[in-house]
Amino acid sequence: MTTTTATTTSTSTATTTATSSASVTKTAAQQVLTSLDTGSGVDTASLVTALVQAQFAAKNASITSRNTALTAQISAAGTLKSTISNFATALGTLSTGGTLQTQPVSSNATALGVSAISGAKVGDLSTSVTVSALASAQGARSAAVADRTATIATGKLTLQLGSATYNSAGTAMTGFTAGSGAAVSIDVTDGSLNGIASAINAAKAGVTASIITDADGKAVLSLKGTTGTDQAFTLTADDSSSALSQFNVGPNSGMTLTGTAANAQLTVDGVAVQRSSNTISDLVSGVKLQLNAVTGGPVALSSTRPTSAVAQAVADFVDTYNQVYASAKGLTDASTGDLKSDTAAKTMVRSLQSLTTKTLVSNPGTNAPTTLAQIGVSTNRDGSLSVDTATLNKMMAAYPDEVEAMFAPTTGNAIGLSSTLNGISLAAASSITGLGASTTRYTKAQTDLTDEQAKITTLSDAMSTRLTQQFSTMNSKVAAYKSTQTFLENQIKAWNSDK
């Protein structure tokens, strides 16, 4: 494993450096002795370098060794933190994706679409729905205008929401009752068709304005409300004599209606109901209905269990867990692990080891499973996990809701495997007690080593300067002695030659 290599390399580096230190010291000593014995000149530059290196070799080796170990620890902590985070994120995405949740099924999905509400429990579904009318929104259009940028009029418009009655064709409003909401005043300062549309949209009062170009190239102001009987609207110019009054919407108004405000009409298991929207989430427990068309008869709603998907999710979880656990176990190995003394890393490993026995279901049925161990996920002697398929299948058949809740938690059971694993991941990443704190500690230690190395460099430079001065003085004296020696030798030779 990489962690073993890193540790071995660190030890090897320290040993090699220590050996080199001893060698440098021995070489320096031999050079001095040889130089003195032979009477030859001493290479003081090389000698000073060798002596300085010998003096600080052990300390430098220690710093290098510790720095290498810290680098490995920082890398290992980052790897472990990233690994558990990716695992938790992937499981979270799977849990909320809907594939592990019981899904509703419509016998006429074209007219009546259904989907599971995120976090809601669908369970066994058997419901009949008949759609007799869709919810609709009131719309209105103005007369065509040749130039959408030409000024028509400025002033104020008042928008009021409420309920209305219409003629049989739905093209005109015959009566209006204001709702409980306050009327909205719209200030039109740009009197062009563009400006009027912008002012209405800026009010954000539940009516959207757009400009449509007709077949003749002229501009038409189109207004659209939201669906529901109580979302009808009137639009009135404050000055009835102003040209803005041509955009009035209401009884006897100047704009033609293109749609009427109405609720959806449907029957659920024989009970007649109505809703203001075609998207309904409060009629069938855990199910969102999408009304697309009148059904002309009852539509059967049922559900399908994600048995195969859950079984595959369990298998995939175990495979990924084993990879993550093997990595974590290797990094915390008592002999070779870079994080063998890291409390946060070892805490994370212990949390993973206890995962199969943690309660994952908050409101189980009688004798229903609540842990991974109870649905067939067991821990092997080496810490890895394995799945007993027979037990898993038996539990999914007998307790489908509880097994499903482990992997796709609902609002009634917010624990689940994903949430539990995410808790382990967050604890591991903590900058106070987790691997985040470990990384900070190791980085600080490296900074301290850098400071220590700087001090050693200062000391070695000072020693080098001192020795250089000393040897320079020595060389000067030796040179003087040799000059005197040469003079005396020549003088003696001269005396001998005179005899």
CA distances from 391 to 112, 314, 372, 373 (A): 38, 12, 11, 10
- Two tokens, residue 429: 């990443």
Q: What is the pLDDT of residue 412?
A: 66
Tell me: the pLDDT tens digits for 67-82?
999 999 999 999 999 9
Q: What is the pLDDT of residue 29?
A: 47
pLDDT reading at 260 higher than 50: yes
Tabulate helix, strand, coil % of the chain (nearest 5): 50, 20, 30
- Two tokens, residue 416: 């689940």
Average pLDDT over the chain reads: 89
Q: What is the pLDDT of residue 41?
A: 63
Distance CA 59, CA 52 (A): 12
Residues 6+ apart with CB under 8 A from 365: 399, 401, 402
Strands 264-268 and 155-166: unpaired
Better-predicted residue by pLDDT, 300 or 474: 300
Distance CA 267, CA 276 (A): 14
pLDDT reading at 40 higher than 70: no
pLDDT reading at 15 higher than 50: no
Q: What is the pLDDT of residue 253?
A: 84
pLDDT band at residue 479, thresholds of 50, 70 and 90? confident
CA distances from 49 to 55, 91, 205 (A): 10, 60, 85
Q: Are 443 and 415 a contacting pair, CB within 8 Å?
A: no
pLDDT band at residue 425, thresholds of 50, 70 and 90? very high
Mean pLDDT of 155-183: 96
CA distances from 402 to 63, 366, 368 (A): 56, 11, 7
Q: What percent of the chain is predicted at pLDDT more than 70?
A: 90
CA distances from 332 to 2, 115, 219 (A): 12, 46, 73
Q: What percent of the chain is predicted at pLDDT more than 90?
A: 70
